[in-house]
């Protein structure tokens, strides 16, 4: 399954959701608007990782519907499991199914390929810190003339 998340494909996505959920509605993603909100969250995750649209190809976001319920709630619940993948044309629905959840509720998880992981780490590293080649090469570490040595 690969359906691009656009308003034009709303009917296809709704048909797929109806087929997966059956009569269940309480703890599931019920309509296209639910998935569109998840895609907006996925796009925010992509932007927070500082991945360009080109670099993000292959990034996945796995979502399970449902909220946490009190521990006294002892029955299982039917939930919707959704997988979005960032493709050349944007976010696509690549997997849709049902799953059983208990008290814990749903989740949203970002999945990166090893190559994407390296890109994200390199961007994080270049934006937030620099690794010095030698500890003594730091400009604030000097001999006896440093501020720390003269302050004492």
Please, what are the averages of pLDDT over each run of 10 residues along the chain (152 residues)?
93 93 85 94 95 95 87 82 95 93 86 95 86 67 53 50
* Cα–Cα distance for residue pair 50/48, rounded to 1 Å: 5
Residue 27, burial from CB neighbour count under 10 angstroms (0-12, 13-18, 19+): buried
Structural domain boundaries of the chain? Answer: 3-134
Q: How far is CA 24 from CA 21, 31, 38, 56, 124, in A?
A: 5, 12, 20, 34, 42
3-state SS class at 90 = strand
So what's the pLDDT on residue 132?
77
So what's the pLDDT on residue 139?
62
Q: How far is CA 107 from CA 7, 52, 54, 82, 135, in A?
A: 25, 25, 26, 10, 42
pTM: 0.78
């Amino acid at each position: 399954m690969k359906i691009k998340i656009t308003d034009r494909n709303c009917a296809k996505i709704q048909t797929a959701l109806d087929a997966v959920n059956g009569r269940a509605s309480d703890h599931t993603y019920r309509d296209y608007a639910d998935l569109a909100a998840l895609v907006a969250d996925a796009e925010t995750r992509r932007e927070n990782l500082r991945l360009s649209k080109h670099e993000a190809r292959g990034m996945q976001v796995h979502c399970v519907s449902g909220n946490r319920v009190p521990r006294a709630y002892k029955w299982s619940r039917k939930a919707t499991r959704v997988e979005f993948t960032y493709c050349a044309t944007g976010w696509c629905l690549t997997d849709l199914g049902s799953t059983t959840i208990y008290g814990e509720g749903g989740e949203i998880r970002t999945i990166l390929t090893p190559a994407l992981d390296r890109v994200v780490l390199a961007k994080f590293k270049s934006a937030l810190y620099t690794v010095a080649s030698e500890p003594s090469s730091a400009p604030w570490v000097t001999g006896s003339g440093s501020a720390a040595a003269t302050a004492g």
